[in-house]
Amino acid sequence: MNRREAERYLSALAEVRAAGGRAASATVIRVHGSAYRREGARMLVRPDGTYVCALSGGCLEPAVAEVAARVIASGEPATVSYDLADDSIWSLNIGCSGAVDIRIEPIGEDEVTTAWLAVLENAAPAVLVTRLSGPGSRRIVFPGAASVGELGDSTLDAAADAAADARLKGTYAASGTDTCAGVELFFEVNQSPPVLIVFGAGQDAVPLVRQAWTLGFEVTVVDARAAYLQDELFTGARLVLTSFDDLASAVTLPRGTFVVVMGHHMERDRMALRFAFVQEPAYIGVLGPRARYDKLHATLADQGYVPSPAVSERVHSPIGLALGAEAPEEVALSILGEILAIRSGFNGGFLAGETGSLHRASGATRAFAAS
């Protein structure tokens, strides 16, 4: 779930609980072949059968809601399979040539559930491990902190902790099933929101920030001009007013940060780029033609700021996908398309003619540097 999905999910659950009702959570735990969403997608089903968030394009949800009603009534979790092909007796006639397994569980108020809802609320990195056979036990694994819940025995708990930790540390952390100590488990990975730092608060930064927020990014906009940093223009973003020769004291780049330099001012852009070279974020996008970046780079080199080969590989100039973008909204789409592709391990090319899974990375031209 991205940050915006989690907010909708939590808000709906709070409303149900405030009204004294119970709800169920449905999660995609396996995908066979082609499907609309990948493992880890969640939706919340209210007592009246209505739902929030999505597991498909809208065709699968009513069937899941019917099962969820029984789960809410019985209090017992259920795992159901849906064939998405158009030639199966038990098919939903969607025509996706795949199948999905959905885990549907009542949302209680036990220790693990409460802790997991706090993870979603705080957008914290953690893994919810669910035992798919035998006792319906769960465990939350946190990076660098004690786990919550038990899966059945200490050997299984230790194996699950190691597998969950490996998923959190992976370049492309993803949810999925695995077998530990002979037991099938589902690992639901929650990551901190991706961080986007935009240097420059011009008019073309407005749609970029707006679209990035919608996609669940945590966005910071940095500029030296107070008149440009207006809350009403950059809703949801953190605004930083600072001199660009003192960025280190005003801006922090967390692990896996994406940086976009779009200040339309050679000196400020040079200082922003110098800061990025030193901080070594996961991605550095520089707006404008390649010749402009080369000039900025040459000036920095003359001053002794030469990026390492690893950092140079993370620089994207010109920035964005080749969409023929011109208007600010189009440019924003191009930039975020590139960032999403790199973050997920994709090349950002056309999908036409693709016969494999649309949700499995085929290898980005330049891999996402998570640290």
Average pLDDT of every residue of the chain:
90
- Alpha-carbon distance 211 to 218, whole Å? 11
Q: What does the pLDDT look like over 72-125, one tens digit per residue?
A: 999 999 999 988 765 443 344 555 567 899 999 999 999 999 999 999 999 999
Task: Give residue 358's pLDDT.
Answer: 57
Contact by Cβ (8 Å): 126, 148: no
CA-based nearest residue to 70, from 114, 140, 131, 22: 22
Task: Give residue 87's pLDDT.
Answer: 44
- Alpha-carbon distance 11 to 281, whole Å? 33
What's the gap between Cα 297 and its chain centre? Answer: 31
- Alpha-carbon distance 142 to 196, whole Å? 24
Q: What does the pLDDT look like over 195-239, one tens digit per residue?
A: 999 999 999 999 999 999 999 999 999 999 999 999 999 999 999
Task: Give residue 368's pLDDT.
Answer: 54
Contact by Cβ (8 Å): 194, 343: yes
Q: What does the pLDDT look like over 11-31, one tens digit per residue?
A: 999 999 999 999 999 999 999
In this predicted structure, the answer to whether residue 68 has a pLDDT above a threshold of 50 is yes
The letter for the amino acid at 93 is: N
Q: What does the pLDDT look like over 119-131, one tens digit per residue?
A: 999 999 999 999 9
Compute φ and ψ for 71, nearest 5 degrees. Answer: -65, -40
Sequence ranges of the domains in the chain: 1-108, 112-192, 195-344
pTM, rounded to two decimals: 0.87
In this structure, whether the domain defined by 195-344 belongs to CATH 3.30.50.10 is answered with no
Beta strands 315-316 and 283-286: pairing type?
parallel
Residues ≥6 apart with Cβ < 8 Å to 47: 16, 21, 22, 23, 69, 72
